[in-house]
Structure 1
């Protein structure tokens, strides 16, 4: 059942309705979760939307229900008895029109403007699906389609990565997005620039239609090429040079990996040095003591001689106090004795025979167990390791395979940008040194690459022209790149001698991507543009 609670007009607070709206609240009644506010219009006339002439002659009345901001967690709906007026202008084509309001209420709207603004803020921050879910909790329930329609016209197509591109225009001084264009054609950009004659400097990437669009739409504006894209173009040109020298690079790789050069990347495995090369018979009981154990024994003796307590020595060496106490009382470290003795000595000669050299420890252990060995497999392995470490004729471990070290064209092009101290390890430095000695044109290429990079630090007019002339005369393969710079010389030179950077644009592009991802497949261009501009304001 619905509970109806009626109040007199004088008891209704004034702040329930917008203060600038000519409405008077008369009664309020409630249903579960909803407050209904009956209102009466206070304005004495209304203006015709076609001719603008005011009219006081009422034609008829009709009811409107408008969703307002929630009140105390309840959905608020304003019941309005609106009026229709006669237009008394004889030449006006509109004879009857609905009542118009200056604030908060618009024709055909089913929400107050302030309620619509709330939904717009939610849509801008949360997107369609999430915004619609939250709207139910704040007392303005709408569907995802409706919440998106608040900030755009109905448009459900989306940009496709790699197929459809747009253009973002950013104010580099204020760091704000000025506009978003639906494509990257020169005509679209030129038309936009014609509407903004106040623009005098344009920073852009090296896409050809952009240069043409700026030249057409704003011939008075100076163009500045993006430094990042210039370095990217140089890196791509350098990469192509290395790709064209595949045969020469393979020869340098072969030479670099030659063990005779002493630079081979073979992984050396240290073999334990035999202690008795002349001894033909094994002597297991006199095996060497472990280096780590001997080091800790010496450390304990050294610390104890300085007066440090046993507890402190145990903390420093990370040994048990009992072990520290035992080491202090010992004159010299003794070899650990196995808990149980075995009869392995009886099978040593059998194990060292030529036909047993290729067998694994498992196979050898299985053989001597059948012959009467009384020890465990772990004991067998420890003893055999000691035996092999003392024999001159032990089985030699196979050499580790030689790892052939190579570098990709992409990596080589990056290495030319780097200073020697920034390279990763000695391998990169050694290989570059060999590469420069073998292919002198690559050394010349490195000098040009680093020289181009230094142009942006020096910022002197004329250096770019000298660099282009040097690159055209060189035999390293940068002629085409240098000639392409001449075609866009003014913009590239402005990038060299000025501090204007296009980095802010790259940051805005990342922000646009994040906004687009929030649209859940509904990021039409108009919606995307509205959201980007709203968040930039």
Structure 2
């Protein structure tokens, strides 16, 4: 049985309850963690919520329990003896109504207004689960569902007028499947509205309600261009510079991917010790017998040039007896990856989910150093290397094929550290100035690449020229660049043709300072808010969270 102390107080101190409430204290008592305050109302009359007439004729009395702000670390519960009144207005449909208050106490609420305001601020900053957890520490304990209900009750006033310059971009409910649209006032730097999809008609309908809009910054997503043209034909469109550079980078990356054969030859030439690029390393290792493959190598579309070159180098070094550890150091691959490449016949071969890939590990399992190991040890090893079967399947197969292979000792073998560059890295290197490149390797390889593939040198000049367009800010330069790209043989013709389809917006991006960077920052903020809701943020709830914090 809990002990509690009762205090009889003739007047409630101002620091306990709001002073603008006409309440009279009866008793205050505390129990562990909770302070109970019993009060009664001393108003002389109340106003009917329907007709607005005053009434002082009491019908009955009832009790309400309200949660208030914590007092000295104790949870404050106010037990209020409220009243019901008769409405004496003969034409009013309401005959009996509950007592109304001008401040702090609202009908049907179980918390004081100031307590609810604190909870609202916490909900907007922390979201559902986190907000509910913190509420227990600040003395206003609620559930995560209550936090979400508080957010849903927030009244959002829609923005009638904007500054006239807005940015538009998409954000993902579920990446790759469901998207929405965020609209940002670029001068005020605040979110104006969220749209439930990224369709042209939805954006056009929103723009028709805002005729004051004069400029729209957007990425190169087609429906956005159509939506702006339909909903605000008088507005000028500005393409986002960041996305333009990204599109150019993707174009150059695809060009390098299409030149896989040429790049492999240049990688081989660059790593040739006769050029003096890499110093040979003398080692003494046994030669392992590797089964010869009779099928020719077949390249797959998802294999990058640098991976294929490293795969071929691993097979070559292992066939010459180089140790796995040394191969990993030479090719800058993980030892597990080297082991996987050794047992693979060709890079990119995939196994079905219903069958096992044990045949790919037979040569590894028959190596001399694996003799004497238990099946459990061998199974654990190849599981780490990518084996997709069960232990029983492994045992049955090994009982049939387990035997040993002899080793042959040989003399010193020369291993050469190799260097490769992925298409992504090469596309980035075209943007960089010489002082931004990492070390002499990048400079030497680019020099060799330009010598063997002159069209890549031409592509580098176009890429850097396109980048300089946004610095010069001169009208007419974009048109000259497009004409030069269309005449070139470096592979950027399709990119230049696509610029012509959206020429006005791209040219505005070149000659103006308007940027979509503020919109990208707001998209990141939406992602953070969405994660706070732990999957329960429907569109309307998320919209209120974003707009309430932007006001």
- Tell me: CA distance 1:27–1:248, structure 2 relative to 1, closer, same or farther (3 Å): same
1:461 deviates by 0.8
- Aligned partner of residue 490 in structure 2, secondary structure: coil
Name the residue aligned to 1:433. 447
**Mapped pair 1:82 → 2:82:** yes
- Tell me: CA distance 1:43–1:493, structure 2 relative to 1, closer, same or farther (3 Å): farther
For structure 1, list consecutive stretches of 5 or more residues without a partner in the other structure: 272-395
What are the equivalent positions in structure 2 for 1:387-398 lying under 5 Å apart?
Answer: 398=412
**Mapped pair 1:172 → 2:172:** no
In 1, distance between residues paired with 2:86 and 2:260?
A: 86
In 2, distance between residues paired with 1:128 and 1:83?
A: 35
Name the residue aligned to 2:252. 238
Maintained 8 Å contact 1:266/1:400 = no
- Tell me: CA distance 1:513–1:475, structure 2 relative to 1, closer, same or farther (3 Å): same
1:110 deviates by 0.6
- Aligned partner of residue 37 in structure 1, secondary structure: strand
Maintained 8 Å contact 2:281/2:416 = no
- Aligned partner of residue 36 in structure 2, secondary structure: strand
Maintained 8 Å contact 1:266/1:401 = no
Q: Could you state the TM-score of these two structures normalised by the residue count of structure 1? A: 0.68
Maintained 8 Å contact 2:273/2:280 = no
Maintained 8 Å contact 1:38/1:78 = yes
Q: Count matched residues.
A: 408
For structure 2, list consecutive stretches of 5 or more residues without a partner in the other structure: 155-171, 284-409
Moved more, 110-119 or 207-216: 207-216
Name the residue aligned to 1:109. 109
**Mapped pair 1:184 → 2:198:** yes
Q: Which one has the largest radius of gyration?
A: 1
Name the residue aligned to 1:296. none
CA deviations 1:41-68 (Å, max 9, x no partner) are 3444444444545544544332211111
- Tell me: CA distance 1:53–1:471, structure 2 relative to 1, closer, same or farther (3 Å): farther
In 2, distance between residues paired with 1:251 and 1:403?
A: 16
1:460 deviates by 0.3
In 1, distance between residues paired with 2:148 and 2:440?
A: 58
| Correspondent of 2:503 among 475, 489, 494 | 489
Name the residue aligned to 2:40. 40
- Tell me: CA distance 1:14–1:439, structure 2 relative to 1, closer, same or farther (3 Å): closer
Q: Could you state the TM-score of these two structures normalised by the residue count of structure 2? A: 0.66
**Mapped pair 1:267 → 2:268:** no
Name the residue aligned to 1:130. 130
In 2, distance between residues paired with 1:504 and 1:124?
A: 21
Maintained 8 Å contact 1:27/1:37 = yes
| Correspondent of 2:518 among 483, 495, 504 | 504
In 2, distance between residues paired with 1:58 and 1:76?
A: 28
- Tell me: CA distance 1:60–1:216, structure 2 relative to 1, closer, same or farther (3 Å): farther
- Tell me: CA distance 1:422–1:94, structure 2 relative to 1, closer, same or farther (3 Å): same
Moved more, 58-67 or 235-244: 58-67
1:445 deviates by 1.4
1:241 deviates by 1.6
- Aligned partner of residue 183 in structure 2, secondary structure: strand
Maintained 8 Å contact 2:280/2:415 = no
Greater relative CO, 1 or 2 (CA 8 Å, sep 6+): 1
CA deviations 1:474-523 (Å, max 9, x no partner) are 22221221121122222211111111222222223223323333333433
